[in-house]
Amino acid sequence: MSTSETTTMTAPNPAAARIPKKTVKDFKFIKEIGSGSYSTVFLAIESGTNRELAIKAVSKELVTRTKKISQVFREKDILALLTDCSYAVKLYCTFQDERTLYFGLTYCPNGDLLQYITDAGHLEEEVVRFYAAEIIEALEQLHNRHIVHRDLKPENILLTDDMHIQLTDFGSGVIMDNNDSSPQSNGTKNVDEEKKPIKRTNSFVGTAQFVAPEILKRGAIHVGSDLWSLGCIIYQMTTGKHLFRGHHEYDIYNAVARVSYKLPDDFPPLITDLVQNLVRLEPSERLGSEETGGMEKLKSHAFFSQFSYDTKWGNLLNQRSPLETKVKLSSRPKLSNDELETMSSGFDDRVEARLIGLRMASDAPNGIDAIVTGSSNISLSNETSSLHETDNQSTLSDQSSTKSMYNSPSSNSSFNNNAPVVARRLQMPDHALSLSEQASKNVYHKFVQNNLIIKQGILDKKKGLFAKRRMFLITEGPAIFYVDPDAMELKGTISWTADLRIEQKDMKTFLIHVPGRTYYLTDPDQDANTWCKSLISIHYRYYNTDPNRKLSTTTSYSSSSSSSAMQTIVPVTEL
């Protein structure tokens, strides 16, 4: 275990020991409702009480191999301290078997805040105000318990039956209980000691678009890290976009470190002032920190009391949410009593097969319209012979009318599992310059065989019930590489031929079909639409075919095949 992991471990928590123990046989696993880099979340029903729970199943093998053991136990300790917190999911029980740790948590049937932002495009100001207020009260409850979340983002803000928030995913959180931050057990710690800065430093955690600069720089732990994330969330709720953007995570991290962002000219003035006072370089200068007057100062901001509206602090949970429930975003299935009665308890191979079957059955094609709607971050333009970032929609008919920007494939290429990718280069005047810049700035360049990266991003790659977090790299060729971002190891490539097919399941999940295999991928930022549009655009440019038609069942991977598609295969390789 690394030094940084050791320093963030907390002492055994007496509260955690009081969490009831169950076994897997006490529950009926209904369906998968979420997944992460080393865990899968299921809706389950407790057999004895018919109580709905979200069971988080954590792979022991994955957390051991990725050195995340401390995160798992730290999350358990934090949840045990939040049993009386009205804005955080509750930990009801824990249990384990040979392969898996299980956490029984509050089930929130209406999904997360990100789903509603994405579905609506952006939220109305009244809705932004209400949820910003609930997040503030939630952070106040956390910080009063000396807990810093450090990975606050819309995806980690769940919605209950009545559309109030519940914070989740405390694996990146810290309990500030060392000698610098917590009262002495005898209660004699004086005021000056209470205000002493925390010396323990941050380990690198969080999500690029929401992570605070001090976490990037591994500076001192401070509650202001959550206030920075709050500012980013308020901006995303208001606009539907990230405050910090870039072609790659490298660009985003640079922007965060420099606090480099630009608000739209027509951005609401009061929200402008609020965001600017939250998203500041120094944690101590962020509105809501102890140094600026604490949470009461943040609550008194004009945004929460403008005109006739007055936020009812302390009574928000008794108010009706201005955001209406959407059935299509609910994870609760329609299940009859008879179906529930016949369902077996426990988690054996038969239950696992049923859950995988349910998941794959829900992945039926939704048609081209469901995939190509919305905007794409990447488009390929023939008029300018370059790669652009755009918010404009593009259609397949528009693409088919333009001249191909790719060189023709080599006529003597052949299939070889160990062969390098033979790329059809992008015809760009600045191709060599772009490649040189990529080689010097992008840490993933070494994995793509000197091909230009068109799109990259983190995806969770599902295999069985668990997902592994990978950096996916789409390059000229075309080719798809995926890398373990923790170990910085190339884990495989995906064969890209004319037979490749793309399916979008929902805003978070999409599938890549190649002959003989399906890749089940989820985007943590719930932007599967952008991935699909990029893949469709690239595929159409290379093959001039729709990648959503039925997958051929006759395609052969034999090296004796003479089809032209075989000439540009990127072999499937699992390391």
SS3 letters for 467-508? EEEEEEEEECECEEEEEECCCCEEEEEECCCCCCEEEECCCC
Q: What is the 3-state secondary structure (H, E, C) of 110-169?
A: CCEHHHHHHHHCCCCHHHHHHHHHHHHHHHHHHHHCCEECCCCCHHHEEECCCCCEEECC
Q: Which residues contact 570 (CB under 8 A, 6 or more apart)?
A: 421, 477, 478, 479, 480, 493, 494, 495, 496
pLDDT score for 417: 36
- Give the whole-angstrom CA distance, residue 275 versus residue 235: 7
pLDDT score for 236: 98
Query: Among positive and negative, which fits the CA dihedral 339, 342, 346, 347?
Result: negative
pLDDT score for 419: 45
Domain contains 315: yes
Catalytic residue among 26, 77, 151, 226: 151
Domain boundary among 48, 73, 107: 107
pLDDT score for 401: 31
Domain contains 340: no
pLDDT score for 74: 93
- In 10 A of CB 527, how many CB atoms? 19
Tell me whether the omega of the peptide bond preceding residue 478 falls within 30 degrees of 0, making it cis: yes
Domain contains 355: no
> Do 43 and 188 belong together in one domain?
no
> Do 176 and 291 belong together in one domain?
yes
pTM, to two decimals: 0.67
> Do 444 and 542 belong together in one domain?
yes
Please answer whether residues 9 and 24 qualify as being in contact, where contact means their C-beta atoms are separated by less than 8 angstroms. Answer: no
Domain contains 25: yes
pLDDT score for 525: 79
> Do 92 and 160 belong together in one domain?
no
Amino acid letter, residue 95: F
- Give the whole-angstrom CA distance, residue 439 versus residue 213: 25
224-239 and 113-120 helices cross at what angle (nearest 10)? 30
> Do 163 and 219 belong together in one domain?
yes
Question: Order of strands across the sheet with 489-494?
Answer: 501-504, 509-514, 517-522, 453-463, 466-475, 479-484, 489-494, 573-574
> Do 395 and 519 belong together in one domain?
yes
Q: Which residues contact 145 (CB under 8 A, 6 or more apart)?
A: 81, 82, 85
Q: Which residues contact 264 (CB under 8 A, 6 or more apart)?
A: 239
**What's the CATH code of the domain at 487?**
2.30.29.30
Q: Which residues contact 75 (CB under 8 A, 6 or more apart)?
A: 103, 169, 170, 171, 173
Q: Would you state the structure tokens that stand for residue 145, as one six-digit string?
A: 């318990």
Q: Which residues contact 17 (CB under 8 A, 6 or more apart)?
A: none
Residues paired with residue 165 on neighbouring β-strands, in sequence order: 159
Report which secondary-structure segment, H or E, holds 308.
none
In this structure, what DSSP letter does residue 384 have?
T
Report mean pLDDT in 10-residue bins for the chain, 575 residues.
38 59 91 84 93 94 87 94 96 92 96 95 96 97 96 96 97 76 35 42 72 91 97 98 87 93 95 98 96 96 80 92 93 86 83 67 38 29 31 33 32 38 62 85 92 90 82 91 92 90 86 90 85 89 74 34 34 36
Domain contains 24: yes
Domain boundary among 107, 129, 157: 107
Domain contains 14: yes
Q: Assign 3-state DSSP to the chain and report helix, strand, coil percentages, each to 5.
A: 35, 20, 45
- Give the whole-angstrom CA distance, residue 547 versus residue 451: 22
Q: Would you state the structure tokens that stand for residue 313, as one six-digit string?
A: 């602090």
Q: What is the 3-state secondary structure (H, E, C) of 200-251?
A: CECCCCCCCCCCCHHHHCCCECCCHHHHHHHHHHHHHHHHCCCCCCCCCHHH
**What's the CATH code of the domain at 45?**
3.30.200.20
Please answer whether residues 216 and 209 qualify as being in contact, where contact means their C-beta atoms are separated by less than 8 angstroms. Answer: no
> Do 94 and 140 belong together in one domain?
no
Give the SS3 label for residue 262. Answer: coil
Q: Which residues contact 206 (CB under 8 A, 6 or more apart)?
A: 150, 151, 172, 212, 215, 229
> Do 121 and 102 belong together in one domain?
no
Backbone dihedral angles phi then psi of residue 273, each to the nearest 5 degrees: -65, -40
Domain boundary among 74, 107, 140: 107
pLDDT score for 102: 95
Pairing of strands 147-148, 52-59: unpaired
In this structure, what DSSP letter does residue 421 have?
P
Residue listed under structure tokens 């599902």: 462
pLDDT score for 127: 96
Residues in the annotated binding site for ATP: 56
Give the SS3 label for residue 510. Answer: strand
- In 10 A of CB 179, how many CB atoms? 11
> Do 286 and 396 belong together in one domain?
no
**What's the CATH code of the domain at 180?**
1.10.510.10
> Do 100 and 118 belong together in one domain?
no
pLDDT score for 90: 97
Task: Specify whether 546 is catalytic.
Answer: no
Please answer whether residues 123 and 117 qualify as being in contact, where contact means their C-beta atoms are separated by less than 8 angstroms. Answer: yes
Domain contains 241: yes
Indicate the number of domains in the chain: 3
- Give the whole-angstrom CA distance, residue 213 versus residue 195: 22
Please answer whether residues 107 and 54 qualify as being in contact, where contact means their C-beta atoms are separated by less than 8 angstroms. Answer: yes
> Do 54 and 146 belong together in one domain?
no
Domain contains 569: yes
> Do 122 and 268 belong together in one domain?
yes
Full residue range of the structural domain in which residue 93 is found:
3-107
Residues paired with residue 298 on neighbouring β-strands, in sequence order: none
Residues paired with residue 10 on neighbouring β-strands, in sequence order: none
